[in-house]
Amino acid sequence: MAQLEFTHSQDNLKNLANQILSRATALGATSAHLEINESIETSVDVLNGNIESVETSYDSNIGLTVYVGENRGNVGISQVPPADLDMIIRQALDIAKYTQADPLNGIADKEDLCTGFTENLQLYNPIAIDNAQIIQQAIELEKIGLNTDRHITASDGAAISLGKYNFIIANTNGFNLGYTTTRYSKSLSLIGQTKSGMQTDYWYSNARDYNDLDSNRDLATQTISRVKRRLNKGKIKSGSYSVVFESTIAKSLIGIYLNAISGSSLYRKLSFLNNSINTQIFPGWLNITEDPFVIKGSSSCYFDNEGVNVCKRDLVKNGIVSGYLLSCYSARKLGMRTTGNAGGNHNIQVSSNITGDINSLAAKIECGLIVVETIGHGVNMVTGDYSVGASGLWVEKGEIKFFVDGLTIAGNLKTIFQSIKYISNDYRAGSIQCGSMLVDGIDVSI
């Protein structure tokens, strides 16, 4: 991978963190928290067999937060180690003088901090590959996409990216841990054409291990299939229909739910799910779990962004809300305890109650729509009202008939969640694993 290596070892970063924290307290901080990161990323983009761009970057930074009593100040530093450590710390302390005092400010409590880990989640999987090989694979991916099916008339580009990351998190309560990770991805976008016009679609693959990415053949085949299903266009009438949200769209609905149960939304009273613990939100068969310890998981981790322990747990059990997503600060605001979710959620798994894919769900529909794309972010997080532009596949008597676009789908998320009838098991690896979702009675308008 592009020949660059980390400048600092884990021990170097930990020693630097101890030095910074020690100086911060000596200069007047009552407590402090910091994160030090290194990243090395390479990306290749090709179009029509030509190299559009090849970029390799190395970045490093320090994020330092100091507390002086109930006041908080933070600075970001792009040089590791900083040229003038004391000057940087004094800047953070000076900022703290002008911030509003908040008795709930502060670093994570000692009893909540991770004290170490032994399990290998296989999050770091470096690969020996040079730019020439990456370029060759991206060109091959696009070539397969262009030469496999006569309906594909042009490419909108192929891309491959590789990244590896080295970080530690430390605070003045004695926490000082870190590890290395890798992330890889490839994607392909193609254009198809018939007498009905031109359509484009894409597909992608993400993994912690380069060898776990979809093969070029499989990725191109999937992209072609997604383009071709758009080429037979039709029209429908407005109405209330059964709607299948394809897995990629169903994940976004679950993402809205996760946002609604996050601490920052809850303590600000900006969620339609305020005070929803022990409330029935979904059908009784539906469960949502969070598992930070999935081997090679997209969102696997040993601790959260504040150094707090993480654990496998239920977020929804038998349709009932059983957990929020809380950082230390949001937990204090709500009079609760942190759940180890500073920085986000960790590998969400939504249960399924049917085997198959969108075709299996289509078979359950007399008349309805399979949504394959949404446009816009039409969600009112306070009321739960949902309205987005959409395109999809029209279904009659269990069979997919044609593609339709220029639609709007609307409803209230509480009603939508309660009306979920089926979720299939056609999910892909990712931070949210949710299969395609069939919901009864959603308004579809043209």
> What would the pLDDT profile of 301-334 be if each residue is shown by its tens digit?
999 999 999 999 999 999 999 999 999 999 999 9
Residue 277 lies in a domain: yes
Q: What is the mean pLDDT of residues 178-195?
A: 94
Sheet bearing 152-171, strands edge to edge? 71-77, 50-68, 31-47, 152-171, 176-194, 197-207
Model pLDDT for residues 258-276, shown as the tens digit of each residue: 999 999 999 999 999 999 9
CA nearest to 233, candidates 31, 53, 394 = 394
Residue 44 lies in a domain: yes
Q: What is the mean pLDDT of residues 201-219?
A: 96
pLDDT at 3: 63
Measured distance CA(81)–CA(59) in Å, rounded? 12
pLDDT at 197: 80
First to last CA, the chain: 48
Radius of gyration of the chain (CA): 24
CA distances from 380 to 374, 387, 390 (A): 16, 9, 17
The answer, yes or no, to whether residue 93 has pLDDT greater than 70, is yes
The answer, yes or no, to whether residue 337 has pLDDT greater than 50, is yes
pLDDT at 1: 41
Whether residues 195 and 246 share a domain: the answer is no
Q: What is the mean pLDDT of residues 19-44?
A: 97
Whether residues 40 and 134 share a domain: the answer is yes
Residue 4 lies in a domain: no
* CATH number of residue 132's parent domain: 3.30.2290.10
Q: Which residue has the higher pLDDT, 377 or 8?
A: 8
The answer, yes or no, to whether residue 2 has pLDDT greater than 60, is no
Q: What is the mean pLDDT of residues 332-344?
A: 96
Residue 336 lies in a domain: yes
Whether residues 273 and 218 share a domain: the answer is no
CA nearest to 163, candidates 133, 136, 127 = 127
Q: Which two tokens stand for residue 21?
A: 């924290």
Whether residues 253 and 323 share a domain: the answer is yes
Half-sphere exposure of residue 411: CA atoms within 13 angstroms, side-chain side: 21
Model pLDDT for residues 116-169, shown as the tens digit of each residue: 998 899 999 999 998 999 999 999 999 999 998 899 999 999 999 999 999 999
Burial of 126 (0-12, 13-18, 19+ CB in 10 A): middle
Q: What is the mean pLDDT of residues 398-421?
A: 95
Give the DSSP H/E element, type plus range, for residue 316: strand 313-317
- Please state whether beta strands 399-412 and 176-194 pair in parallel, antiparallel, or not at all (unpaired): unpaired
Whether residues 187 and 319 share a domain: the answer is no
| Domain-ending residue, one of 180, 204, 227 | 227
Angle CA 53–54–57, to nearest 5 = 125
Residue 90 lies in a domain: yes
| Domain-ending residue, one of 227, 248, 273 | 227
Whether residues 272 and 403 share a domain: the answer is yes
Q: Which residues contact 20 (CB under 8 A, 6 or more apart)?
A: 32, 34, 62, 64, 85, 89
| Domain-ending residue, one of 227, 247, 264 | 227
Domain of residue 267 covers 232-446
Q: How many domains does the chain have?
A: 2
Q: What is the mean pLDDT of residues 420-438?
A: 93
Whether residues 65 and 26 share a domain: the answer is yes
Residue 88 lies in a domain: yes
Whether residues 77 and 192 share a domain: the answer is yes
Whether residues 26 and 167 share a domain: the answer is yes
Give the DSSP H/E element, type plus range, for residue 142: helix 131-147
Residue 2 lies in a domain: no
Question: Which of 28-37, 192-201, 264-273 comes out lowest in average pLDDT?
Answer: 192-201
Q: Token pair 């109650």 is at which residue?
A: 353
Residue 1 lies in a domain: no
Whether residues 342 and 438 share a domain: the answer is yes
The answer, yes or no, to whether residue 343 has pLDDT greater than 60, is yes
Whether residues 273 and 213 share a domain: the answer is no
**pLDDT confidence of 346, banded at 50, 70, 90?**
very high
pLDDT at 79: 86
Whether residues 219 and 260 share a domain: the answer is no
